[in-house]
A and B are shown apart, each in its own frame.
Chain A
Amino acid sequence: MADFLLEIGTEEIPAGMIRELAWSLADRVLEELRAAGLWTGGELVADPGRDPFERIPGGRMIAAPRRIGFLLPDLPVRQPDRSETVVGPAMAVARDAGGQWTKAAEGFARKQGVALTDCREVQGPKGPCVGFERMVKGRPTEEILAEIVPAAVDALHLTKAMHWGDGSQTFVRPVRWVVALLDDQVAALSVKGVAAGRTSRGHRIHGAAAVEVPSAALFSEALRRERVLADPADRKQKITEELNHHAAALGGHVPGDPELLEKLVYLCEFPTVLVGGIPAEYLALPSEILVTCLREHQNFFVVRGAGESVLPHFLSVMDGPDDPRGFIRRGLENVSRSRLSDARFFYEQDVKVPLEARLEALKGVVFHRKLGSYYDKALRMEALALKLAALFGANAEEAAWAARHCKCDLASLLVQEKEFTTLQGIAGGLYAAAQGQPADVAEAIYDHYRPVFTEDDLPRGAIGISVALADKLDTLVEMFRIGQAPTGSKDPFALRRAGMGVMRILVEHRASVSFDLRALLVSLGPIPGGLMEFLEGRLRFLWEQGRRAAVLEEPSSALDHPSHEVALRASTGGRSSGFPYDEINAVLAAGTRDRFDPWVLDLKLMHFHGVRNWAPEDFDHLAVAFKRAKNILKGMPGYSLDPSLFLPESDKEGAAERALFAAYEAVKDEAEERFAISLYDAGLLELAKLRPAVDRFFDDVLVMCDPEGKDPKKTALQQNRLALLQRLVALFDRVADFSEIVPREKEAGK
């Protein structure tokens, strides 16, 4: 056994790509080693939040600005020998009637260089054949690595590849050295034209230019001595500990910022946290602007004290062990002073200009070449926000004002600066508040881009929902109208995110209500082709993700409608992978024919899911029965039901159809009442009572007793039975199309 170390030394790889490249490289090599019989250990963990080598004790990731690679423990030094069956012609031609080998068999043996006495009957892919066993000697691991490592590097997906030097090689950045060791021996291989050796390089400034690595296992230590922490987990830990240490010493804490932390982990080979001062005169800036300025311009963390106030210190991460003469701190402070001074200038100028006064300037800010300016968009949003405000019970005048002015900050000095574009909306909200607009109007402007990312908060109040929805729906309708629907990986206007935002607001917001989204869109004009399907797809995607399940498990969340709590009790909980696809299909199939009401659809799905977990067997049985019913009813006109036409109780069929009708009558009103007040789960529990009667009906009754319509008496009987099934299906369809359910046992057996 030997440990294998691979380090591909490069010029600085972009911080955002390092992890993915190192992970994919290790993953590909592992996969090939496994195929070659050289790896039987665990797999890499894909979750970015965890150590990729969690399941491979002794393994390490190498992923730093100037190097990617890995340490793999305990590789056999050569492949095991294995026996292989060589298959020749079929027995039918290999042996004659007398049981003797034929010419064909002789030819096979001669070609393979074995004696016919060593051949025997073996099982070929199409039946018995002549064949023999032979031993295949395993190849040395080193030889195999020399093939799979370069191939794995070549196969890496590069979002932006480059050439250098003579232009003969392609990679993310120039490859400058390669270290490949099997224990203490150099493995002969080369990557991108660079032959592997044992000489690595230390930190660019604080380490040796050449570092001899004695053995694979000693790589980390050898590099650490030369100020390189090659494993990102070590760098992350060092930064996190130092951030917490300094923050505590300053009497505050550092709010989590995983994105910035990750960036800095991959911008440094030997990160050290340094404390600097924010000049007091800038602490009066709104904290959003202060924090964005320091974060976007300079990758600084801020320290927050009591009440989330910003303390007058920043934490920066430098790539090196110390700041011996204080030059670094002073340099950073100087740069931040000039940046903050710009930001304050922009803010002070911006606040002086009322948002209303910027409407004119919005005419010059292009939304889309074919769709005019943001001024045009603001007017459309205002009209839409008025309709939404009526639905959500928001103050119409305030919602309209917020919608009309929420884009005005696009014409402000601050938001026009590259580093502050992320403050769009937020800046407008701050200006509105500073200019004396009502708090909920300022809040609505501040929030109107939300949710920006998956875990982002939703807009706060009813005005906020109205404006945020108006913005997103307007973008969706208009972009679809001019044929800009997202396709494949192309979504330049982030319409998928907008659609997701719409769905999250409609189903998760505590102020959301039931209404027909399709009717709302129709009121704006013809709905562009594909938009309704797109929106339904977004709702489906939201359900398929795990996050809705998390919402379910937390009663204190936005879902505090009384009937949501019923679902909560009924749910088995603990799911992390979203709702089952068949339940989603069932609810969408039945629920979007006449109206598209995401709030109600979501409620139906949660209740349906909860009750199904409550009574899974009943649901499976009902599903089978409904598939049959749907098949029978396909293409049938509607029939009317006449109880007097049922066969007598004494008849087996009559008893079954009477029993089903009686059971239907017994639960129908109760279920309808529950459905009418959105207690879908309670209604479904009523319907589940029908299972025995439904089962009995399908066991005992031949519905299509007169398929060719020859006997008028039988035809009436058949139509009466169809009418009964139609009523039954219609009742269930109030919540879900049960024929879409995939029975659990069946699914498990697949």
Chain B
Amino acid sequence: MVSMQELIERMKHFWAGEGCLIAEPYDLEKGAGTMNPETFLRVLGPQPYASAYVEPCRRPRDGRYGENPQRVEKHHQFQVIMKPSPDDIQERYLRSLESFGIVLREHDLKFEEDNWEAPTLGAWGVGWQVMLDGTEITQFTYFQQAGGFELKPVTVEITYGIERLCMFLNGIGNVYEIPWNDHFSYGDMRREAERQFSVYDFEEARTDLTAAWFDQYEAESRRLVEKELYLPAYDFCLKASHAFNILDARGAISVAARADYIKRVRRLACACAAAYMKQFEPAKEVARG
């Protein structure tokens, strides 16, 4: 058996060896590792960068009260970004799978087209879902745009679903049976949280309050970004995004309103990206007074 803990160790070890900085999860709720400023802001601008980190991701709509063996409200991604994308990035990725304990010769691996788009981030990329014996284990993306900016150089993003991969490695079909380490299972660690957050997301979350929060977070993000404090501004953008996800899970958003909320979050993200990008503008000759 390969425990969740052991797999994460192997992932960090492998990608550190490829020159990635090993970062830590960002301490706010978010739906995907891409939203960590470590990815969202770092992919912008010209300077090379490479990092890898575990990111817990919350998707309120996917909660199943801890009862569905394959769907959870909170899952873990292992995120790798490298800028510029190395020429042999696919080979490195395949080596990473071998280093986790997968003998590729004994499996069927396919790179199937899957272009990624995050409307709330003004971001899209081109790439694949990596299918191993029919299971999607990785999203592999060449970022083309983020925060509304064209990206040059191009960042490659590799997102492993840690639970999926761990289930695959151990040949098990139930997420709660994953060994977290030798003594604790995934169920021990996560099931109660899944139950409670499902109750909150689907039943208890106060929609009036959450909608009001959304408005406040949005206003605060806009205020801060005007002062060029793009990092705190981006935090409030993430908070707004999560508030939207909860409203969505509660079924409190109509189809028309949904598009509007997405647009509002995207505006915040794009404003933060624009503020961040200012540092790379060619210095203007200042000759005043």
A162 within 8 A of B: yes
Beyond A165-B85, A316-B134, A327-B106, list 8 extra A-B contacts (CB 8 Å). Answer: A163-B142, A323-B106, A327-B133, A328-B108, A331-B132, A331-B134, A334-B171, A336-B134
Which label, helix, strand, loop or mixed, suits the secondary structure of the B interface? Answer: mixed
- 27 CB-based A-B contacts, threshold 8 Å: A11-B90, A12-B113, A15-B112, A15-B113, A160-B115, A163-B144, A163-B151, A164-B154, A164-B156, A165-B84, A165-B85, A166-B152, A167-B154, A174-B142, A176-B87, A205-B94, A205-B104, A206-B105, A209-B91, A319-B108, A319-B109, A324-B105, A324-B106, A331-B132, A331-B168, A335-B133, A337-B173
- Contact (Cβ within 8 A) B70 A338: yes
Contacts of A335 in B (CB 8 A): 133-135
A14 within 8 A of B: yes
A750 within 8 A of B: no
CA distance A732 to B171 in the complex (A): 77
The listed residue with most B CB atoms (<10 A of its CB), out of A160, A324, A331, A332, is A331
Q: How far is the CB of A323 from chain B (nearest CB, A)?
A: 8
The listed residue with most B CB atoms (<10 A of its CB), out of A12, A173, A267, A338, is A12
CA distance A318 to B131 in the complex (A): 11
A369 within 8 A of B: yes
CA distance A323 to B104 in the complex (A): 11
Binding site for A on B (CB under 8 A): 69-70, 84-87, 90-91, 94, 104-113, 115, 126, 128, 132-135, 142, 144, 151-154, 156, 168, 171, 173, 255-256
User: With A11-B111, A319-B109 in contact, do A366 and B70 touch (Cβ < 8 Å)?
Assistant: no
User: With A167-B151, A167-B152, A327-B106 in contact, do A12 and B85 touch (Cβ < 8 Å)?
Assistant: no
Contacts of B84 in A (CB 8 A): 164-167
Contacts of B128 in A (CB 8 A): 12
CA distance A675 to B108 in the complex (A): 66
A107 within 8 A of B: no
A454 within 8 A of B: no
Contacts of A162 in B (CB 8 A): 126, 142, 144, 154
CA distance A328 to B132 in the complex (A): 8
A320 within 8 A of B: yes
Contacts of A325 in B (CB 8 A): 106
Q: Which residues of chain A from 149 to 166 have a CB within 8 Å of any chain B CB?
A: 160, 162-166
CA distance A328 to B107 in the complex (A): 6
A309 within 8 A of B: no
- Contact (Cβ within 8 A) B106 A12: no
Q: Interface size for chain A: under 10, 10 to 19, 20 to 34, or 35 or more residues?
A: 35 or more
Contacts of B104 in A (CB 8 A): 205
Q: How far is the CB of A368 from chain B (nearest CB, A)?
A: 11
Contacts of B156 in A (CB 8 A): 164
Closest A-B pairs by Cβ, 9 of them? A331-B133, A167-B152, A14-B113, A12-B111, A318-B108, A162-B126, A335-B134, A332-B134, A328-B108
With CB as the reference atom, state the residue of chain B lying closest to A342: B70
A245 within 8 A of B: no
Contacts of A164 in B (CB 8 A): 84-85, 142, 154, 156
Q: How far is the CB of B105 from chain A (nearest CB, A)?
A: 6
A268 within 8 A of B: yes
User: With A163-B152, A338-B70 in contact, do A320 and B144 touch (Cβ < 8 Å)?
Assistant: no
Q: Which residues of chain A from 191 to 213 have a CB within 8 Å of any chain B CB?
A: 204-206, 209
CA distance A174 to B153 in the complex (A): 13
- Contact (Cβ within 8 A) A267 B110: yes
Q: Which residues of chain A from 300 to 329 have a CB within 8 Å of any chain B CB?
A: 316, 318-320, 323-325, 327-328
CA distance A336 to B115 in the complex (A): 24
CA distance A38 to B254 in the complex (A): 63
A298 within 8 A of B: yes
- Contact (Cβ within 8 A) A267 B173: no
User: With A11-B111, A12-B111 in contact, do A331 and B135 touch (Cβ < 8 Å)?
Assistant: yes
Contacts of B109 in A (CB 8 A): 204-205, 319
With CB as the reference atom, state the residue of chain B lying closest to A337: B173
The listed residue with most A CB atoms (<10 A of its CB), out of B69, B90, B91, B256, is B90
A58 within 8 A of B: no
With CB as the reference atom, state the residue of chain B lying closest to A11: B90
Contacts of B105 in A (CB 8 A): 205-206, 324
Contacts of A369 in B (CB 8 A): 256
Q: How far is the CB of B152 from chain A (nearest CB, A)?
A: 3
Contacts of B168 in A (CB 8 A): 331
Q: How far is the CB of B236 from chain A (nearest CB, A)?
A: 30
Q: How far is the CB of A297 from chain B (nearest CB, A)?
A: 8
Q: How far is the CB of A451 from chain B (nearest CB, A)?
A: 28
Contacts of A267 in B (CB 8 A): 110, 112
Contacts of A12 in B (CB 8 A): 111-113, 128
CA distance A267 to B90 in the complex (A): 16
- Contact (Cβ within 8 A) B126 A167: no
Q: How far is the CB of A376 from chain B (nearest CB, A)?
A: 14
A610 within 8 A of B: no
Q: Which residues of chain A from 1 to 37 have a CB within 8 Å of any chain B CB?
A: 11-12, 14-16
With CB as the reference atom, state the residue of chain A lying closest to B259: A369
With CB as the reference atom, state the residue of chain B lying closest to A331: B133
- Contact (Cβ within 8 A) A298 B134: yes
A65 within 8 A of B: yes
Contacts of A298 in B (CB 8 A): 134
CA distance A167 to B154 in the complex (A): 6
B94: contacting residue among A204, A328, A336, A366, CB under 8 A: A204
Contacts of A323 in B (CB 8 A): 106, 108
Contacts of B108 in A (CB 8 A): 318-320, 323, 328, 331
Contacts of B87 in A (CB 8 A): 165, 174, 176
CA distance A524 to B157 in the complex (A): 54
CA distance A298 to B110 in the complex (A): 12
User: With A12-B128, A162-B144, A205-B109 in contact, do A328 and B256 touch (Cβ < 8 Å)?
Assistant: no
CA distance A331 to B132 in the complex (A): 8
CA distance A14 to B113 in the complex (A): 5
Contacts of B106 in A (CB 8 A): 323-325, 327-328
Q: How far is the CB of A332 from chain B (nearest CB, A)?
A: 5
Contacts of B154 in A (CB 8 A): 162-167
Contacts of B113 in A (CB 8 A): 12, 14-16
CA distance A204 to B90 in the complex (A): 10
Q: How far is the CB of B253 from chain A (nearest CB, A)?
A: 12
CA distance A399 to B103 in the complex (A): 59
Q: How far is the CB of A262 from chain B (nearest CB, A)?
A: 14
Q: How far is the CB of A108 from chain B (nearest CB, A)?
A: 52
- Contact (Cβ within 8 A) B111 A65: yes
CA distance A743 to B153 in the complex (A): 63
CA distance A335 to B111 in the complex (A): 17
CA distance A316 to B85 in the complex (A): 33
CA distance A324 to B113 in the complex (A): 27
CA distance A206 to B85 in the complex (A): 25
CA distance A325 to B108 in the complex (A): 12
Q: How far is the CB of A269 from chain B (nearest CB, A)?
A: 10
Contacts of B70 in A (CB 8 A): 338
Contacts of A14 in B (CB 8 A): 113
- Contact (Cβ within 8 A) B133 A165: no
CA distance A204 to B106 in the complex (A): 13
CA distance A334 to B171 in the complex (A): 9
With CB as the reference atom, state the residue of chain B lying closest to A297: B134
Contacts of A65 in B (CB 8 A): 111
- Contact (Cβ within 8 A) B126 A160: yes
CA distance A335 to B115 in the complex (A): 22
Q: Which residues of chain A from 327 to 385 have a CB within 8 Å of any chain B CB?
A: 327-328, 330-332, 334-338, 366, 369
Contacts of B142 in A (CB 8 A): 162-164, 174
CA distance A334 to B133 in the complex (A): 10
Q: How far is the CB of B285 from chain A (nearest CB, A)?
A: 28
A334: contacting residue among B94, B110, B115, B173, CB under 8 A: B173
CA distance A331 to B126 in the complex (A): 27
User: With A204-B94, A331-B135, A334-B173 in contact, do A268 and B152 touch (Cβ < 8 Å)?
Assistant: no
Contacts of B132 in A (CB 8 A): 331
